[in-house]
Structure 1
Amino acid sequence: MISLMWFYILAIGKGSYSSVLSTSSPKITLTNMSTVTAVTNVKISDINDFGDGRDVSVSFTRPQNDSNTSNYRVFIVKTKDANNFSLTTANNLSSNYYTTVDKSGSNGSTLIATLSSSTRDTSGDFIKNNESYTAFVMSVSNTNSGMNKLSPASLAVTLTVSTPTITQVDDVNDFGDGRDLRVSFNKVSDESNVNSYRIFVVRANNYTNFTLTKANSLPSTYYTQVNKTGSNITQVLSAGAKDTDGYAIQNGVSYRVFIMAVTNNSANNVLSSASNMISLLSNNVGAVSNIIASDVSDYGNGRDLFVSFNKAVDEAPINHYRIMVVPTANYNNFSLTDANSVSSSNYTTVNKSGKSTYEQALSENTRDVRGNTIKEGTNYRIYVLTVANGNTLGNNALTAATSTVTLTKNFTVQAVTNLNVADIDDKGDGRDVQVTFTKPTDESNVNHYRILMVPTAYYSSFNLSQATSSSYYITESKGGNLAANRTLDGIRDVRGNFITEGTSYRVYVLTVANGNSLNAYALSSPSPVITISKSKAVQAVSNINVSDVGDYGDGRDLQISFTKPSDESNIDSYRILVVPASKANDFDLNTAIRATNYTGWSKGQYSVKLGANSRDTDGRLITNGQEYRVYILSVVVEILRKCIAYPTHLPTLLWKTFQPLDQWRK
């Protein structure tokens, strides 16, 4: 409604003075000024790496009532100017300086504005990297711009581009050129705009002056180009690789390395930080470390000796390793010259594999460095010779010796480890029990293993003497996989009783020696307690439908169908129970199981008509005019555990018609 009005002021006289009326005001037109609400939860995010407005996403929450709002305007303001950005400023800006967002979705929903490559901030500058921005959103009135509302400012965000990260630079060879330098780096997080990478080798005395501008300006002969792979990259440079001054990469010069991610637009290329400083040197191979020799078996020859060591720091110039067994009686000192002269028949070769730790069990025919077989009672020290690539023996490296090792009879067996049990079936005996354990790595003195089930009610603890005296166990052979995994078919507990549901047990494993050991047995720690139980639930049928389909006046009038359970694997059959309605309230699973009057129904049939002699659960023939409720009992395989399905309808069997009554719970 629009109303025209004039206003007057009446001055009331005091006492006997008369009142005076003013002249009229100018006329005023009253209009209905509709309310506009500001948006909330304004958030600005950096979502891409284009280096322009496409990197920016602004989200905000639409008001619960914005019927008086036509659309929204998103303003990107340099954060340094945000404190001075006002509604008046926003109203005065042209459409080149904001992004319009139309209303969509429901009131109170979140709207998202993704900007374009041509989007400008409120100063008229294109959106760019390394600038901090704050977002505002203005609700635009559909009647009067004077009613527009400006949101509070968002938190500030600075647009950045992820850069490659150098993780390692290594001197890996001795060619005296770029082939000695290996560079490893992590790719940028988003490679969608990256075409390739460039590796720049910069002399360390000038690396602080190396910039993105300098990198972009260099010719292709001054860097190494690497295609992106989708993964982090490790690259050994070529023999002809040059540094950024145009000189061939060489020994004795200190370098730092940079990586540049190359995009479709060179203006968006990004440069990594500098690597650690590296100087290429000509190096001999390094010796291995942490060498350990152990007597691990009782064969009386080289198989008893187990050697482990950590690899040399740099394996690139290494060809292989040699394990040498040196009798202490013949060598006070064993030198590199001695090691280089040992016959190939008298050491064990270990090829390099890149593993950080090497482990080697020697063979039966291993000989010491003098050509004698390894034997018990002799004192040895073990050395490892690192053999360099090529034929220069002087480049090889020898470890210090291990402590003295003397082979003796160990005569021990070990208990199994990682013993665990699980209830995996519903057969009600040992077949339900799965046992897993790890055998000892050295089974040279083992004959076999015995698995024993101990009822916890009779044994608060179970010891080695009780384990060795029991004649009730399952045998597991030695050898094969170290990880044993089996069920306990036919097992009895250590008291001679069959395994039963509801009884708590612990499982033990007894290691039995082969006669060469001083300790003939070793008993494991107990397993967790296991109580086998029915773990697989039987499902009831669903969607029972009952219809009066005939006029015989007996069970032939009754048609029954249902939907089978999704899992019938533990169901043997079904039973149809027709219950007089007067007794249905007291009819439950136990009553159903005890019932002797039912119609058996095999799996695979899910719709059937009853017979003329079909009876209700009271044993009476099904007759016309009687109200019944129909139940289906799922009968379990073997153990006959049952589950009852409640009827969907309460049918009344009539001569010609069937009237379904109330819906019943299943």
Structure 2
Amino acid sequence: MKKLLVTLAASLLLFSLVLQTQVQAAAPTTTIYINGVKLVTDQAPITVGSRILLPLRAIFEVLDSTVDWNARAKTVTATKDDTTIVLKLGSKTATINNEAVTLDVAAQSINGRTMIPVRFVSEAMGAEVDWNAGSKSVFIKTSGEVNPVPNVYAQVVGHKGNGSDLVVSFIKSPNESTIDHYRILIVKAANVPSFHLAAAQAVTSKNYTTALTQSGDQTISLSAQARDVNGEMIRADQSYAAFVLAVGKANGQNALSQPSSKVTITVNAVAPAVTNVKTSDINDYGDGRDLQFSFTKASDESKISAYRVFVVKTANAGTFNLAKANATASSNYTLVNKTGSSITQTLASGTRDVDGAAIVSGMSYQVFVLSAASNNNSGNNTLSEGSAPIVLSTNTGNAAASNVVAFDVSDYNDARDLRVNFNKASDESRISQYRIFVVKAAYADSFTLTTANALPSSFYTVANKTGNNISQALASSAKDTSGDKIKNGVSYRVFVLSVGANRLSVPSPNVVLTNNSSLLAATDVKASDSSDYNDARDMLVTFNKAYDETNIAHYRVLIVKAANAGSFTLGKANEVASSNYTAINKTGGNLSLNLAAGSRDVDGTKISDGVSYRVFILSVGGGSYNGNNALSAPSGEVVLTDSISAATNVSAKITDSGRIDINFDKPHNQTGISYYAVMIVPAGVPFDVKSANNAAYFIQVNGGTGTTTNDNDKDITGAPLTRGSSYKVYVLSVAASGNTSSNALSDPSGTVTL
């Protein structure tokens, strides 16, 4: 037995020596290169016999193969394109696409790594393998061809005048497994015919955008700092095409696409004006339904989101401008969607003019139409010329009741809680009585004179004329126009019919009855942009006092961002900190105030230009009614803006004498403009209103709409204008106040070369 053990030990020692001779570590002497790049692995290459083995994942993954290890069966399965290889640990038999092949050396486990023969795997996957005995190096070269991407698309998606306006899309290369990454190259249109693969490969990294492979088609948005292949910032009024360079994993194996179609960035996002605004008197309701308007659509509606129709008293039409139109509350204009054709439409019964007054017969009006810019920048809106004046028929128009308001005055939980106030018709000679109709707010827009005349007497309340304005509380049994008893929690609007003259009033604002009637809310809250301080002093707030101020201590003016106004409730109003509202004492009359410079909205943010707000008024209870507050309905939206407008249609051309002839159109509204500063800017230099305010040199234009340079004129840096140099021209509207933040810069002219 002892002799047997000695013999067995000797045999094991001999086997170990043989294995050490057969398996030699190759890490110190053998190096693997893939497409010229040294391959580094966590397990060094080893030599078994005359074959070099590598960890399976290192070689398969660098050859872009997917690999799966089955621990139970001890098999490795690798797939690339249409080739599948299966190796079994310890077996010299493998399969390539289910066909058996014999290996010189089997796959084996060494130091916890599954090692596989490099040459067999590489060649099976279509690569070329060379052995350099002198350097003891293996060179593997993948044979996959780098194909160019087949389609490149470039699209302008903005008007900022830089690379962020461009999006480039492309279909992935047909053989993306051979590609390391893509390079997006922006080329000036004039250079496209001479742009080729060698030029593309020479472009430095700061002048292209890199896109990594992702096994799918790609859409890449460029950055504002993107440059063209010449290193120049991408800019407006320059035509470009996009190329995509597919960069192969093997050195030098690149492929250039065909160019995209040519695109040009513009910074002119101004919505063009409508034309041919006309009005006509088509009915005799004594309200907005009598007025029909029409206009010819704008020449290019792609820059327009919608139209806004403004009804302006003729007495005020001469001073109605773009700034006032932009500041008009949404409740005081009519929104009209673009249809692709010219528009004819009749106003609704409750339509109000820009002052918030109901449209009535006997008043002279003019209609303006605002083209609202699609980029939501009010500075790019455009106002039409006004229509000819129109006076709606006075046949019976002065026989309608007006200023209808409904209040919650008690806590009976029935119609006795509802009091209706209205102004009598100016001419009651043909009126026998008035009828008060309480309409669920959801049905108010469809409530017409015909509907009112058809209702039975149990569905309305009669109010006898008195020769004075009328205030009437309803009876407990009063019903709404649906035949339902009036009750808490329902939103209503109230109409008044002048019987005899058969005229229906404009509806009241919404009213909802609650058990909190001891305090009444303010009504008819309005907000407008009244100045140009660039702070809260620009906001003018007006409102009608509560019908009964007996239990009111004071009011609070609450400024709410329009985006949050829909969720602003009485509970939230009560929680607003005192630093974030404006308190105003009651006076016994309706109230009007401009906010203080440091006023903040309810979130504690300073009120500023460019933000859309709505205004609420909180009636604050006093004495025994302390904490029993009431919140008004909100105002329409208001956005504070500067009234200074930019010049338009700036043009520049070279005269026969070699000077620059400059012309421009003054803005429709010149209020607050002191003069125009004409600025000559070297082409390619980024330029904005901040740059304009800091310009070292400009040409001042006071009364005219143009100028011509002379031999002494300079560009914005103070440098003389030189022959052969290219320039663009801008016009700065300079505010009379001296406040540079109010200045407005035009779009540039085209490029001119002296």
Same fold (TM over 0.5): no
Higher helix share: 2
User: How high is the TM-score relative to the length of structure 2?
Assistant: 0.27
Structure whose CA Rg is larger: 1
User: How high is the TM-score relative to the length of structure 1?
Assistant: 0.30
